[in-house]
Amino acid sequence: MHPAPSVILFTTLSGLGFGLLFFLGLGFPAVSGWVAFVFFAIAYGLAVGGLMASTFHLGHPERAWKAFTQWKTSWLSREGWCAVLALVVMGLYAIGVVFLDRHWSLLGWIGALMSLATVFTTSMIYTQLKTIPRWNMNLTPAMFLSFSLAGGALLAGQTRVAIPLLLIAAFVQILYWKKGDKALEASGTDLGTATGLGNRGTVRAFEPPHTGTNYLLREFVHVVGRKHAEKLRVISFVLAFVLPVLLLVLPFNHFLALLAVASHLAGVATSRWLFFAQAEHVVGLYYGKR
């Protein structure tokens, strides 16, 4: 898949933002007043910024509101609802915490769950796609959720929870890569089933339908060299998990914490780039690109 900056930004930032909201909703850290304001501002900045970024790739952003209509069937629509509900509930909760010094914990719990639900719905947008076997796995939501929680914990300064969550996320990431690399093959879809000609012999794409490019090739066919991908995986893994964990086990220091957050953010963004760039859409088969 084409690794569009808008979707990479969107999933990375909003995942972190909603992860932070999750912890804030649960009352970690137990802040209020201006400190809370800063935390919420960061969380909202990330979540809303991410959501805004996601509209950049729309052909008609001015009609984006129509995306709320299909919650019964569409994960994208559900995501929209969840995000809005989470932001509204958490907003009310934030007003209490920041301005009234009231912790409406039930509201916080609901907001926290909605925040997680938002991340889950985001992940389901990808997970549901049978056309992209690398995404069409339970590990996809597991990865989104674990990343969001680990990042949220990190941002919320919950060192004690963050370390195990980071380790879990790291584990999920490794599983995801391992399984993902075999997903296309395991799906049973190949040029033979795509053309129905597989039982006649070995099928090879000969001439494409046109010599130039098209939307499908731009959108779905992105080939990352294996060596390159492996290098990026190592970088992303070190940045997202190894470095933050190391920094966290050192004696606490605001600068180090900030560094851990930055490193994690960069690592997750790299992982997301790979999430898209390495995802093989079965349409590529028709073009002989896999």
Partner 1 sequence: MTQLPNSTERKMGLVIDLDTCVGCHACVISCKGWNTENYGAPLSDQDAYGANPSGTFLNRVHSYEVQPAEGHAQLIHFPKSCLHCEDAPCVTVCPTGASYKRTEDGIVLVNESDCIGCGLCAWSCPYGARELDKAEGVMKKCTLCVDRIYNENLPEVDRIPSCVRTCPAGARHFGDLGDPDSDVSKLVAERGGMDLMPEMGTKPVNKYLPPRPKDTVEDQIDILAPLLAPVAEEPKGFLGWLDKTLEKL
Partner 2 sequence: MTHQQPILDTSPKVSDEIRRTTCYMCACRCGINVHMKDGKVAYIEGNRDHPVNKGVLCAKGSAGIMQVNAPSRLRKPLKRVGPRGSGEFEEISWDEALELAVSWLEPIRKDNPEKLAFFTGRDQSQSFTSFWAQNFGTCNYAAHGGFCSVNMAAGGIYTMGGAFWEFGQPDWDHTKLFMLFGVAEDHDSNPIKMGIGKIKARGARVIGVNPIRSGYNAVADDWVGITPGTDGLFILSLIHVLMKAGKIDLDYLSRYTNAPVLVNASEGAGNGLFLRDDDGKPLVIDRNTGKLTAFDTPGVRPNLSAVYENDGVVHRPVFHLMAEKYLSEEHAPEAVAEKCGIPAKRIRAIAAELARVAFDEAFELDQEWIDFRGEKHTKMIGRPVAMHSMRGVSAHANGFQTCRALHVLQIILGTVEVPGGFRFKPPYPKPVEAHPTPHCKVTPNSPLDGPHLGFVRGPEHLALKEDGSPARIDKAFTWENPMSSHGLMHMVISNAHAGDPYKIDTLFMYMANMSWNSTMNTKGVIEMLTDKDENGDYIIPRIIYSDAYSSEMVAYADLILPDTTYLERHDCISLLDRPICEADAAADAIRWPVIEPDRDVRGFQSVLIDLANRMKLPGFTHEDGSAKWVDYADYIVNHERKPGIGPLAGFRGENANKEGRGEVNPDQLNRYIENGGFYVAHIPQGADYYKPWNAAYQDWAVGIGLYDSPQPYLFQLYSEPMRKFQLAAEGHGDRQPPDHLRQRIKDTMDPLPIWYETDQQGNDGFTVNALTQRPMAMYHSWGTQNAWLRQLHGRNPLYVPTRLMRKHGLSDGDWAKITSPHGKITVPVMEMAALNDNTVWTWNAIGKRKGAWALQEDAPEATKGFLLNHLIHELLPPKGDGLRWANSDPITGQAAWFDLKVKIEKADAPADAQSQPHFDPIKSPVGTGPDNLAWKVGN
Contact flags string 113-152 toward partner 2, x per CB under 8 A: ----------------------------------------
Q: How far apart are CA 288 and CA 190, in angstroms?
A: 10
Q: Residues 60, 204, 227, 254: which binds partner 2 (CB under 8 A)?
A: 204
Contact flags string 245-284 toward partner 1, x per CB under 8 A: ------------------------------------xxx-
Is 196 one of the binding residues for partner 2 (CB under 8 A)?
Answer: no
Stretch that binds partner 2, among 44-52, 78-86, 161-169, 202-210 (CB under 8 A): 202-210
55-to-61, 63, 65 alpha-carbon distances in Å: 6, 10, 11
Is 254 one of the binding residues for partner 2 (CB under 8 A)?
Answer: no
Q: Say if CB 92 and CB 107 are below 8 A apart.
A: yes
What are the backbone angles phi and psi of residue 207, rounded to the nearest 5°?
-90, 135
Residue 90, class by beta-carbon neighbours within 10 Å (0-12 exposed, 13-18 middle, 19+ buried)?
A: buried
Is 159 one of the binding residues for partner 1 (CB under 8 A)?
Answer: no
Footprint (CB under 8 A) of partner 1, residues 184-223 = 187-189, 191, 193-197, 200-210, 212-216, 218-220
Annotate 21-80 with DSSP letters as a single string: HHHHHHTSS---HHHHHHHHHHHHHHHHHHHHHHHTT-S-GGGGGGGGTTTTT-HHHHHH
Q: Residues 105, 131, 158, 159: which binds partner 1 (CB under 8 A)?
A: 131
The amino acid sitting at 112 is A
Q: Rank residues 168 and 205 by Cβ distance to partner 2 and give the closer one.
A: 205
CA-based angle 5:8:11, to the nearest 5? 145
Question: What is the contact surface with partner 1 in residues (CB under 8 A)?
Answer: 1, 57-61, 63-64, 66-70, 72-77, 80, 125, 128-132, 187-189, 191, 193-197, 200-210, 212-216, 218-220, 281-283, 286-287
Question: What is the contact surface with partner 2 in residues (CB under 8 A)?
Answer: 72, 204, 206, 209-212
